[in-house]
């Protein structure tokens, strides 16, 4: 009966089965059947590789037998060659030393911070909905998920000594390992839509998130670029590197350059991300043409730390254990690294110390303001409403790219990205070091790392230190904080609105 029914309605039953199976598999992402199917597929790949290997072995054996007749002749020839090799060995040593010298000249030094594994690329799957790269090294070689992967490439740049354009061999970001088998690994390239990494542009205020989920198939997008950052110069083509703040990638790995069409007006304001700018990036590495990669054997920072007993990884869980993100209490300081709370006593002490410091600064600042008011009783200061400035409550222990695009190392590069005067400017003052290319030669002295919103006026009262500060509005006196004036610097550009990117 049932078989009759099934046979009569085989199309309908088949459709229902296929749809149900697919939907259940998608909803229950790690189910056994799915894993089995992937396993079968991998097995198929393994079997085909084994067949290929077997075929090659048989062919090799046959060739060896064919060549057996020539073995004696070869042996004779080899003996002669052996003598020649002595000479070659001397040449080899000479070349080796020359190579070493050239390496030093090229600044092409081997990576010393982490051990690495060089691997051949077996397949680059860019046609798939989930772009991956498969390499021929895996768990047997110490590779684990979330290890960074880089590749060697040629990058053109200016020689600091000669000032000429030349090519450098550099290591640039390829992606990260997302799955490991004993003999091979799967890499998530930076153009995969699930790829994310924190990046920055050294010497500038550009901090952003590199997002592979881009409309362009081969160009990832930089998100969360502060609206104060201006990408209006050719110098914004400086290389973008990993920030190292995410914990997965070491800092300073080259990623790519901002695409030319993303500079200037090309940098879109992303309304979906609360007004931050976005820009496309041209990776240094040509993923489609990769043949070898280097896996950096670096575990994420979180795993490198010792976990407290209560968070111990239990047997039966995945190799690295489930990452447990601790809950933040309301009193937690903003920006505090979540892992600091596992260091007993340290956080409490630091919190207390920083709060004390903040209190002291607050008192000093208020006293100074009072003294100023007394000395200038009738002069109204725009923006000075008598409210306590909230900058004293924001004390940062750690700074991230999204919250503080001008974080450590964020000193303004002359004429490149970064609009030092791009803060809200109620005083109607200008943007002295601002967005125009003309002002590019200005250099701000000692731009304190972490200070995002430099005051528009040069004589701004800014408490010292490394904390996040917001500019207190005050009328500008036209004094520029920049010491040497630029070639075409406009004198005291007061009352001119910032021409480009001058504030939100």
Comparison of 170 and 285: residue with beta carbon closer to other proteins: 285
The least distance separating other proteins from the CB of residue 123, rounded to whole angstroms, comes to 8
The least distance separating other proteins from the CB of residue 278, rounded to whole angstroms, comes to 11
Comparison of 33 and 346: residue with beta carbon closer to other proteins: 33
The closest of 442, 434, 474, 468 to 453, measured between CA atoms, is 468
The least distance separating other proteins from the CB of residue 269, rounded to whole angstroms, comes to 17
The least distance separating other proteins from the CB of residue 125, rounded to whole angstroms, comes to 6
Comparison of 196 and 351: residue with beta carbon closer to other proteins: 196
CA 130, chain centre distance (Å) = 20
- Alpha-carbon dihedral of residues 448, 450, 453, 455, nearest 10 degrees? -20
The least distance separating other proteins from the CB of residue 47, rounded to whole angstroms, comes to 12
Comparison of 133 and 173: residue with beta carbon closer to other proteins: 133
Please state whether beta strands 240-242 and 276-283 pair in parallel, antiparallel, or not at all (unpaired). unpaired
The least distance separating other proteins from the CB of residue 327, rounded to whole angstroms, comes to 16
Comparison of 247 and 415: residue with beta carbon closer to other proteins: 247
State the Cα–Cα distance between residues 427 and 205, nearest whole angstrom: 24
Helix (H, G, I), strand (E, B) or coil at 118: strand
Comparison of 7 and 68: residue with beta carbon closer to other proteins: 7
State the Cα–Cα distance between residues 142 and 144, nearest whole angstrom: 6
- Residue 11, classified by CB atoms within 10 Å of its CB into exposed (0-12), middle (13-18) or buried (19+), is exposed
- Given a contact cutoff of 8 angstroms between Cβ atoms, the answer to whether 118 and 294 are in contact is yes
The least distance separating other proteins from the CB of residue 32, rounded to whole angstroms, comes to 10
DSSP 8-state class, residue 325:
P
Place of tokens 């640039």: 172
- Residue 459, classified by CB atoms within 10 Å of its CB into exposed (0-12), middle (13-18) or buried (19+), is middle
Comparison of 125 and 364: residue with beta carbon closer to other proteins: 125
Q: Which residues contact 36 (CB under 8 A, 6 or more apart)?
A: none
Return the number of other C-beta atoms located less than 10 Å from residue 406's C-beta.
29
The least distance separating other proteins from the CB of residue 173, rounded to whole angstroms, comes to 18
In the complex, the residues that contact other proteins under the rule CB under 8 A are: 10-11, 14-15, 18-19, 21-27, 29-30, 33-35, 37-38, 40-42, 123-130, 132, 145-146, 178-180, 186, 188, 193-194, 213-218, 288, 317-323
The least distance separating other proteins from the CB of residue 183, rounded to whole angstroms, comes to 14
- Given a contact cutoff of 8 angstroms between Cβ atoms, the answer to whether 227 and 269 are in contact is yes
Number of residues written out for the chain? 504
State the Cα–Cα distance between residues 20 and 15, nearest whole angstrom: 8
State the Cα–Cα distance between residues 319 and 146, nearest whole angstrom: 12
The least distance separating other proteins from the CB of residue 361, rounded to whole angstroms, comes to 38
DSSP 8-state class, residue 381:
-
Comparison of 223 and 468: residue with beta carbon closer to other proteins: 223
Comparison of 172 and 180: residue with beta carbon closer to other proteins: 180
Comparison of 126 and 294: residue with beta carbon closer to other proteins: 126
Comparison of 131 and 200: residue with beta carbon closer to other proteins: 131
125 beta partners: 132
> By 3-state DSSP, what share of the chain in percent is helix, strand and coil, each rounded to 5?
35, 15, 50
The least distance separating other proteins from the CB of residue 35, rounded to whole angstroms, comes to 6
State the Cα–Cα distance between residues 304 and 283, nearest whole angstrom: 29
Q: Which two tokens stand for residue 60?
A: 């090799």
Comparison of 34 and 466: residue with beta carbon closer to other proteins: 34
The least distance separating other proteins from the CB of residue 14, rounded to whole angstroms, comes to 5
The closest of 225, 222, 199 to 504, measured between CA atoms, is 225
CA 118, chain centre distance (Å) = 21
State the Cα–Cα distance between residues 464 and 66, nearest whole angstrom: 82
Comparison of 126 and 492: residue with beta carbon closer to other proteins: 126
Place of tokens 């009738």: 378
Task: Report the half-sphere exposure of 5 (CA within 13 A, side-chain side).
Answer: 3
The least distance separating other proteins from the CB of residue 179, rounded to whole angstroms, comes to 5
């Amino acid at each position: 009966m049932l078989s009759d029914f099934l046979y009569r309605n085989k199309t309908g039953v088949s459709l229902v089965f296929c749809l149900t199976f697919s939907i259940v598999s998608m909803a229950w992402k790690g189910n056994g059947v799915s894993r089995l199917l992937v396993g079968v597929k991998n097995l198929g790949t393994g079997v085909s590789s084994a067949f290929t290997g077997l075929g090659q072995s048989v062919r090799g054996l046959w060739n060896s037998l064919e060549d057996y007749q020539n073995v004696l002749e070869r042996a004779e020839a080899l003996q002669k060659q052996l003598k020649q090799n002595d000479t070659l060995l001397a040449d080899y040593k000479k070349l080796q030393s020359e190579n070493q010298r050239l390496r030093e000249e090229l600044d092409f030094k081997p990576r010393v911070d982490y051990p690495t594994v060089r691997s051949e690329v077996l397949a680059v799957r860019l046609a798939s909905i989930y772009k991956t790269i498969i390499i021929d090294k895996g768990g047997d070689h110490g590779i684990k998920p979330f290890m960074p992967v880089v590749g060697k490439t040629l990058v053109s740049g200016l020689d600091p000594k000669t000032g000429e354009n030349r090519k450098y061999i550099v290591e640039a970001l390829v992606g990260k390992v997302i799955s490991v088998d004993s003999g091979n690994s799967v890499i998530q390239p930076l153009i995969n839509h699930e790829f994310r990494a924190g990046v920055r542009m050294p010497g500038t205020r550009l901090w952003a998130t590199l997002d592979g989920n881009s409309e362009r198939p081969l160009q990832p997008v930089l998100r969360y670029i502060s609206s104060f950052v201006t990408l209006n110069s050719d110098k914004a083509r400086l290389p973008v590197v990993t920030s190292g703040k995410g914990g997965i990638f070491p800092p300073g790995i080259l990623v790519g350059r901002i695409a030319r069409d993303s500079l200037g007006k090309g940098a879109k304001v992303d309304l979906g991300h609360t007004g931050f700018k976005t820009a496309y990036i041209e990776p240094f590495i040509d993923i489609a043409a990769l043949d070898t990669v280097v896996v950096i054997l670096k575990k994420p920072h979180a795993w490198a730390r010792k976990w407290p007993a209560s968070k111990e990884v239990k047997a039966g869980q995945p190799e690295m254990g489930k990452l447990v993100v601790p809950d933040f209490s309301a009193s937690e300081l903003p920006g505090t690294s979540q892992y600091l709370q596992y260091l007993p006593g340290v956080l409490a002490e630091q919190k207390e110390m920083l709060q004390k410091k903040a209190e002291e600064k607050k008192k000093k600042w208020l006293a100074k303001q009072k003294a100023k008011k007394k000395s200038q009783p009738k002069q109204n200061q725009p923006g000075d409403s008598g409210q306590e400035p909230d900058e004293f409550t924001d004390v940062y222990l750690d700074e991230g790219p999204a919250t503080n695009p001008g974080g450590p190392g964020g000193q303004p590069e002359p004429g490149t990205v970064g609009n030092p005067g791009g803060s809200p400017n109620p005083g109607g003052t200008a943007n002295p070091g601002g967005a125009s290319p003309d002002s590019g030669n200005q250099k701000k002295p000692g731009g304190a790392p972490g200070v995002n919103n430099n005051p528009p006026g040069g004589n701004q009262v800014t408490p010292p230190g490394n904390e996040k500060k917001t500019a207190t509005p005050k009328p500008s006196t036209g004094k520029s904080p920049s010491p040497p004036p630029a070639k075409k610097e406009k004198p005291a550009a007061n009352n001119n609105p910032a021409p480009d990117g001058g504030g939100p």
